[in-house]
Amino acid sequence: MAFRGNLLVVLVLAASAIATGKSARLELVPAAPGASMAERAMDDRHRHTYITQKIASGRGGSRRVAAEVGASAVSLPVSSGAYAGTGQYFVKFLVGTPAQEFALVADTGSDLTWVKCNGAGGATPPGRVFRPADSKSWAPIPCSSDTCKLDVPFSLANCSAPTSPCAYDYRYKEGSAGARGVVGTDSATIALPDGKMVQMQDVVLGCSSTHDGQSFQAADGVISLGNSKISFASRAAARYGGSFSYCLVDHLAPRDATGYLAFGPGPAPKDSTPAAQTQLLLDPKMPFYGVKVEAIHVAGKALDIPAEVWDATKNGGTILDSGTTLTVLATPAYKAVVAALSTHLAGVPTVAFHPFEHCYNWTARRPGAPEIPKLAVQFAGSARLEPPAKSYVIDVKPGVKCIGVQEGESPGLSVIGNILQQEHLWEFDLKNRLVRFKQSTCTR
């Protein structure tokens, strides 16, 4: 299946606690609930549509063109966008020579890293902007190059002269968020665990003169963590041990709490609990990270969900996505999960809260009322994700909890969002096509 994905929680990029050796680290800060859960749910629906359409176009074999005529580790500081009213995680990113600092959305579904730019044509966007003319290491990528024609997502068909810069119109959803500009290469400055700074040369970078969408009002752009030849994650992982990892703190954690994103292996974990692992399903046409789900359990019982829901060859399947807040399940899986959870919570007073189907007045819950049952996601290879109850029966406002999953299409793609991933360390071993995960406090 073609798989290539935005985080609601704040991340701190750090060395992987699963592997051994040195690694590169980026810091991520947890987001506060600046955006309402209804707004985040709507953003998730837009994103799910975008991902589904992108995968469908990849299955058809079409190139994504716009319709218009070692062994050390590195780290970058990251903070949550929730304080700015968005549902993404931000990472501090230094680019250019001399280095210019930006706050970028960390996104496993993006294959192009881009920043708001001055000098790519069009009006200068508000806020911090990258000025390529001020960077000694900036080099435009020509539109006639293979990189532009084959690797840059949504590159424009126009190429008036072989040396003209490669242009793109990156749409995250038709009529919604997107960015437009030109592509080049530049250096990125990264901090090693010992505090030393190193430069990565020839990082593919989009210089966006125009952009739209709520996510980009507070952020300066996107750092690409998707599976792609030109993504920052793929290039950094290749240099620093073949893997990258992240750990998300509770999305409602205090503002000073941080998670992390790391490239390369890190120091041995403090606890000896082994990590679970399952195969990554990767497709070179897409940036998403696919996994094979075999079952979902509630209160120890496997739910009756048709196998084709998890079958990518039958237009189903599942991806892990840092850019989606709430987990989205194809209709048969959604109905089974919601029915099982709501049955166990039948004794708790209900309350309406858009857009969720099942919400509860937790302050009116009587002593002895049912507890939230355990939910587990079973992956291929006996890997089992057992998230804390707060990750699937979520707090939406003081005293109110809702079953925090959304219904997708059927047949259709299911997406494990960042709230369900929180308080776990996730290591994406791109070299061996494996993803490993284990519970973690996400503290350094």
Distance (Å, whole) CA 91 – CA 105: 6
What is the Cα gyration radius of the chain? 21
Tokens read off for 407: 């219904």
Contact 207, 195 (CB under 8 A): no
Cα dist. 220→74, 113, 130, 271 in Å?
21, 11, 9, 37
DSSP three-state, residue 237: helix
Cα dist. 166→120, 161, 182, 287, 415 in Å?
11, 10, 5, 20, 32
Tokens read off for 207: 């210089």
* Closest to 416 measured CA to CA, from 328, 350, 337, 354: 328
Q: Which string of DSSP letters, residue by residue, matches 270-285?
A: SS-PPPEEEE-B--TT
Contact 310, 292 (CB under 8 A): yes
Distance (Å, whole) CA 352 – CA 358: 8
Distance (Å, whole) CA 406 – CA 125: 34
Catalytic annotation, pick one of 43, 44, 186, 321? 321
Tokens read off for 273: 């609990």
Burial class (CB in 10 A: 0-12, 13-18, 19+), 150: exposed
Contact 78, 261 (CB under 8 A): yes
Distance (Å, whole) CA 385 – CA 372: 16
Catalytic annotation, pick one of 43, 44, 107, 220? 107
Does residue 321 have an active-site annotation? Answer: yes
Contact 423, 391 (CB under 8 A): yes
Cα dist. 327→75, 255, 296, 321 in Å?
28, 23, 13, 9
Tell me, what amino acid is at 242?
A: G
Distance (Å, whole) CA 280 – CA 302: 23
* Closest to 18 measured CA to CA, from 430, 431, 433, 424: 424
Does residue 111 have an active-site annotation? Answer: no
Q: Which residues are catalytic?
A: 107, 321
